[in-house]
């Protein structure tokens, strides 16, 4: 065989790796071909990686080896083995069944007439076609080298594609976060996806609403964190970082970039509205690839925008909730109720919703919308609303109309919270056995929001003083609720109330009625 002529490799797209091997599968029914191929390529090296040879002597064996080694770079494939087209069928198997589009297929044949090159190239997804008589040692070296370069570049493209997909998913997920509490958790989760491991994280910013001093001075304050930084919220970073960490942080601020130090990094985060936020992450891999560093750079640029998105979302939700509370409490003040009833009902609904296995979204929506349950009482005369004695039939019909009045006020909105409030306003006086109003709905035909608010509203009303009754004790109220299990109330919800009565009473204690 011809002597190999080795030349220095030009600069590669990817930095040379110090370990690992390129897998080459030899598929041929002649053992001599395996031996000669291994000998010819015995000292082959590319990017400081040698070749690892895997042998198969038939098409059936080749299928097995290819399945077991999906990371193989090259297959040197004979055409004629147990059948005249065994090699061609293996090539078809690789692309169509194994779905391996990375491996480079080099077809070798000793009988070119049986598998014409033009026909094979057109009909099968192979990368090179060589006659065994022309495949000298030098040409074998050349074809393997060029195939490995192609394989390397395909992997680089695939890694870039996967990286782009990851960064899109990470950015999407972090922007989808609507909770300040979940923000840093989302950051850590997505960085773990990008890097493989993350121990601790901290996000520091000068935009901390509760710290006016930091806003004026521009000093970075820990906004949220995990690990050692979980209890550091609101503290200046100078109090929570070591001297080495603080030095790296200041360097990142000065360079407006990312500083890698030991097993942690500081990433400068900025946006159009804020130019002084910092992301700290520890427990990262010792050696990061250029691709990973590039992804971190993109991600850190998106983190600041995501944070501001979360902050804005939280502000909008807080404003909505406060307006709902204030409107509902204003309605309560028309009666002899003394406030905080709507707030207690909201948190009781949140509790019952959580243990009813509602989604997080539904639980939050229920908590925010439930204070609107009695909004229809705005249309009920004071004489009826505050009558200390029992209502007569005509008065009771007027009182019952508050459900439909509330529904008409709230229905047809494009806002989820208002639409949920409309459902609750109409259905929170329906009863499990169908004896409720306004429509006499029964069982699960009553919306789960209505069933939950019904229980929360009645339990809280029993436990507090009203114009027509004194407050009841816990045991007396529970006894009445259990009597109405399966009649007024959803049995499963009553079971939840009984199982979590301490949590229920805790909510009542936290939000007592205001003094008259």
Residue that wins the pLDDT comparison between 272 and 95? 95
Residue that wins the pLDDT comparison between 312 and 297? 297
pLDDT at 143: 92
Mean pLDDT of the chain: 82
Residue whose pair of structure tokens reads 């989760």 in the numeric block:
189
**3-state secondary structure at position 435:** coil
DSSP letter, residue 446: S
Cα radius of gyration rounded to whole Å, the chain: 35
Confidence of residue 17 (pLDDT cuts 50, 70, 90): very low
Q: What b/e sequence results for 470-488 when a residue is b if at least 16 CB atoms lie within 10 Å of its CB, and e otherwise?
A: eebeeeebbeebeebbeeb
Confidence of residue 18 (pLDDT cuts 50, 70, 90): very low
Residue 89 phi, psi (nearest 5): -65, -35
Q: Percent helix, strand, coil in the chain (nearest 5)? A: 55, 15, 35
Q: Which contiguous run of DSSP H or E holds residue 283?
A: none
Share of the chain above pLDDT 70, in %: 80
pLDDT at 501: 97
Could you give the angle at the alpha carbon of 257 between the alpha carbons of 254 and 262, nearest 5°? 95
Q: Which contiguous run of DSSP H or E holds residue 52?
A: strand 49-56
Please state, in angstroms and as integers, the Cα–Cα distance from residue 468 to each residue in 208, 259, 305, 471, 495, following that order: 47, 68, 53, 10, 28
pLDDT at 70: 93
pLDDT at 197: 67
The answer to whether 514 is a known catalytic residue is no
Contact 331, 377 (CB under 8 A): yes
DSSP assignments along 140-186, one per residue: HHHHHHHHHHHHHHHHHHHHHHHHHHHHHHHHHHHHH---HHHHHHH
- 10 Å CB burial of residue 42 (0-12, 13-18, 19+) is exposed
Q: Return d(Cα 294, Cα 288) in angstroms, integer.
A: 10
pLDDT at 210: 37
Q: Return d(Cα 451, Cα 458) in angstroms, integer.
A: 11
Residue whose pair of structure tokens reads 């539904």 in the numeric block:
362
pLDDT in tens, 456-468: 999 999 998 876 6
pLDDT at 165: 65
136-150, 155-169, 497-511: segment of lowest average pLDDT: 155-169
Catalytic residue among 343, 377, 405, 431: 377
pLDDT score of 51 more than 90: yes
Q: Which domains does the chain have, with CATH numbers?
A: 21-158 (3.40.50.2300), 177-311 (3.30.450.40), 333-510 (1.10.3210.10)
pLDDT at 435: 96
pTM of structure? 0.49
pLDDT score of 15 more than 50: no
Mean pLDDT for the stretch of residues 425-448: 96
pLDDT at 215: 39
pLDDT at 54: 96
pLDDT score of 44 more than 60: yes
pLDDT in tens, 54-63: 999 999 999 9
Q: Return d(Cα 293, Cα 277) in angstroms, integer.
A: 19
26-35, 230-239, 293-302, 415-424: segment of lowest average pLDDT: 293-302
Strand order in the sheet with 104-109: 45-46, 49-56, 21-27, 74-78, 104-109, 128-131
pLDDT in tens, 138-151: 999 999 999 999 99
Confidence of residue 284 (pLDDT cuts 50, 70, 90): confident
Mean pLDDT for the stretch of residues 52-76: 94
pLDDT in tens, 322-357: 777 777 766 666 554 556 888 899 999 999 999 999
Residue 273 phi, psi (nearest 5): -100, -20
Residue that wins the pLDDT comparison between 200 and 462? 462
């Amino acid at each position: 065989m011809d002597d190999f002529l080795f030349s220095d490799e030009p600069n590669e797209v990817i930095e040379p790796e110090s370990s690992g091997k390129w897998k080459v599968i030899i598929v041929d029914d002649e053992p001599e071909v395996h031996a000669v191929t291994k000998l010819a390529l015995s000292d082959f090296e590319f990017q400081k990686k040698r070749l690892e040879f895997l042998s198969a002597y038939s098409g059936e064996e080749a299928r097995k080896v290819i399945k077991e080694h999906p990371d193989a770079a090259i297959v040197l494939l004979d055409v004629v083995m147990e059948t005249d087209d065994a090699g061609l069928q293996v090539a078809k198997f690789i692309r169509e069944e194994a779905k391996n589009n990375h491996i480079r297929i080099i077809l070798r044949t000793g009988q070119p007439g049986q598998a014409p090159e033009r026909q094979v190239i057109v009909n099968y997804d192979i990368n090179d076609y060589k006659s065994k008589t022309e495949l000298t040692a030098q040409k074998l070296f050349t074809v393997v080298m060029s195939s490995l370069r192609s394989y390397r570049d395909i992997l680089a493209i695939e890694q870039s594609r996967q990286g782009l997909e990851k960064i899109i998913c990470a950015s999407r997920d972090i922007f989808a976060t609507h909770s300040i509490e979940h923000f840093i958790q989302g950051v850590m989760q997505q960085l773990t996806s990008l890097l493989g491991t993350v121990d601790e994280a901290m996000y520091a910013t000068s935009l901390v609403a509760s710290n006016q001093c930091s806003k004026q001075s521009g000093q970075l304050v820990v906004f949220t964190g995990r690990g050692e930084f979980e209890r550091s919220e609101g503290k200046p970073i100078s109090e929570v970082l070591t001297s080495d960490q603080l030095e790296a942080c200041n360097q990142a601020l000065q360079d407006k970039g990312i500083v890698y130090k030991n097993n942690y990094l500081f990433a400068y985060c900025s946006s159009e509205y804020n130019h002084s936020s910092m992301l700290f992450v520890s427990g990262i891999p010792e050696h990061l690839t250029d691709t990973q560093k590039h992804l971190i750079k993109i991600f850190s640029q998106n983190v600041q925008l995501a944070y501001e998105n979360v902050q804005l979302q939280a502000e909008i939700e807080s404003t909505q909730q406060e307006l709902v509370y204030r409107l509902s409490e204003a309605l309560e003040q028309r009666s002899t109720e003394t406030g905080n009833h709507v707030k207690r009902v909201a948190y009781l609904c949140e509790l019952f919703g959580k243990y009813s296995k509602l989604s997080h979204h539904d639980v939050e929506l229920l908590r925010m919308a439930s204070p609107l349950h009695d909004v229809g009482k705005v249309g009920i005369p004071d004489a009826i609303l505050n009558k200390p004695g029992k209502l007569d039939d005509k008065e009771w019909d007027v009182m019952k109309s508050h459900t439909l009045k509330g529904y008409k006020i709230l229905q047809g909105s494009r806002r989820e919270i208002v639409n949920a409030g409309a459902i609750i306003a109409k259905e929170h006086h329906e009863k499990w056995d169908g004896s409720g109003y306004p429509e006499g709905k029964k069982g699960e035909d009553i919306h789960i929001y209505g069933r939950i608010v019904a229980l929360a509203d009645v339990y809280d009303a029993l436990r507090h003083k009203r114009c027509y009754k004194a407050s009841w004790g816990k045991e007396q109220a529970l006894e009445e609720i259990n009597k109405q299990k399966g009649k007024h109330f959803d049995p499963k919800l009553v079971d939840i109330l009984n199982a979590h009565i301490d949590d229920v009473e805790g909510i009542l204690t936290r939000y007592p009625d205001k003094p008259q």
